[in-house]
Structures are given as C-alpha cells and as structure tokens.
Amino acid sequence: MGTQGGSEAAAAESFYPSDEDIEKWMANAFDMAKDALENGEVPVGCLMVYNDEVVGKGRNEVNETKNATRHAEMVALDQLLDWCRHRDLDVRSVCEQTALYVTVEPCIMCAAALRLLNIPVVVYGCRNERFGGCGSVLEVSSANLPQTGTMFKCVSGHRAEEAVEMLKTFYKQENPNAPNPKTRKD
C-alpha cells in the first residue's frame, strides 16, 4: 500500500469502500448480529476492515466485564490495535485505511473513539435514536472538534429495517419496558 506522499486529508479522501464492499461486509455484520440475537445478546454486528481483511470484530461485552463502555465498536477497536501491534504496523496509517461496518449507528462515545483513532468511514444500518453519535442525538462524526481526531464519513441506511427488527425482538425479550428504537422516516 503506497500511502506515503500526499496529506493525511488526501489519503482519507481517496479511501472509500465500493458498493460491493459495503454489500459484502454488511452481510457479514448482519450475520454476526443474527448470531448474537440467537444467543440472547445485543444484536449488533460490527467489524473493521483494512485492505480487504477483517482486523477487528466485536460484540457487546458490557455485562461480562461490568464495564459499560464495552460496546461492540470499542471491542473491535481493541482488536485492531492488537492486530497492528502483532504486525508492528503504524496504528495511524492502518486506521486511515480502515472502514467500520456496523448494523446500528455508533453511539456518541464510540463515534468519538472512532474519531480519536482517525477511522475515515463508518457504514451503518439503522439509526440509534437513544445514543446515536452520527446525527441522531449528536453529530460527533462531523463536529468541529480539532483536538478529537478527525471527522469521518457515514454511509447509512443499509438494511436499516432489518437491523431495527432485530433490536426490537431483543428488547422485547430482555426488557419489556425498554423503548423501541425507531427507524428513520424518510
């Protein structure tokens, strides 16, 4: 990968997943989410792809760690960091060529974490009306935060209804009082 030369911005600009990439990796993310649902876990599928390779994969680990920040994205980011460490690769240059595929819009915390690591593109399924950090509650993805990494692009709406249905099914099983996530009405 010849990423040297050209500014960081230009490198991020040139990196964008193709429609086929999105189709393929989102199918993968949805399989993960379905699998989670069948095992009584939060049905969110999430993977980080670098150079056509999965370098991070996550599921929600809040309950077993008692750490409320262990969202699927944070787990996947940790795997990406380990992956870089084992191969002695520069984290920043890998991150700048990595896309996140996730079935639900990342929350405000995860969106900020993605910025801090300079991930340029996030592809997600449905909106996250309760916590969403890519526009639903706050727009962290494109906010003017010069000390908080770099902004990232969002590709949203891929199989959104399916993602919502899985969340609804999960919350109905888990907690009848939990509010239902809503879909975008456009």
Partner 1 sequence: MEPQMKRWKGSACDTDSWVAYPVLSDDQSQDVELIEAFAAPIVDKKETSRLIRELNSLYPLNGLQHIKRVRACKGKGSPHPLEVLVCLVSDAPDVKDVSIGSLLPSDGVRHDGLGEPFVVKVPVRPPLTRPQFELVSKHWPTSFHEDKQVTVALRGELFSPPQKATMHLYMMSAFTAAEAGKEMGMEAVGAVVVNPATQRIIAVGHDCRGDHPLHHAVMVCIDLVAQSQGGGCYSFDKYPACRFTLSDTDTFKCSVEASSQPYICTGYDLYVTREPCVMCAMALVHSRIGRVFYGTASADGALGTKFKIHSQKDLNHRFEVYKGVLSKQCEDLKSLDSHSRKQRLEDCR
Residues with a known catalytic role: 73
Continuous segment of H or E residues that includes residue 101: strand 98-104
Nearer to partner 1 by Cβ, of 18 and 144: the residue is 144
Q: Would the CA dihedral through 21, 153, 84, 91 be positive or negative?
A: positive
103, 30 Cβ separation under 8 angstroms: yes
Smallest distance, Å, CB 140 to Zn ion? 11
Q: Is 142 in the site for partner 1 (CB under 8 A)?
A: no
> How many residues belong to the site for partner 1 (CB under 8 A)?
39
Of the candidate spans 14-22, 48-56, 136-144, 154-162, the one that interacts with partner 1 by CB under 8 A turns out to be 136-144
Of the candidate spans 10-18, 20-28, 108-116, 159-167, the one that interacts with partner 1 by CB under 8 A turns out to be 108-116
Binding residues among 28-87 for Zn ion as defined by CB under 5 A? 71
Q: Is 64 in the site for partner 1 (CB under 8 A)?
A: yes
Q: Within a 10 A sphere around the Cβ of 160, how many other Cβ atoms?
A: 18
Q: Is 122 in the site for Zn ion (CB under 5 A)?
A: no
Smallest distance, Å, CB 140 to partner 1? 6
Q: Would the CA dihedral through 70, 73, 79, 84 be positive or negative?
A: negative
C-alpha–C-alpha distance, residues 79 and 184, integer Å: 31
Q: Is 2 in the site for partner 1 (CB under 8 A)?
A: no
Q: Within a 10 A sphere around the Cβ of 155, how many other Cβ atoms?
A: 16
Kindly list the residues in this chain that would bind Zn ion in the complex (CB under 5 A): 71, 107, 110
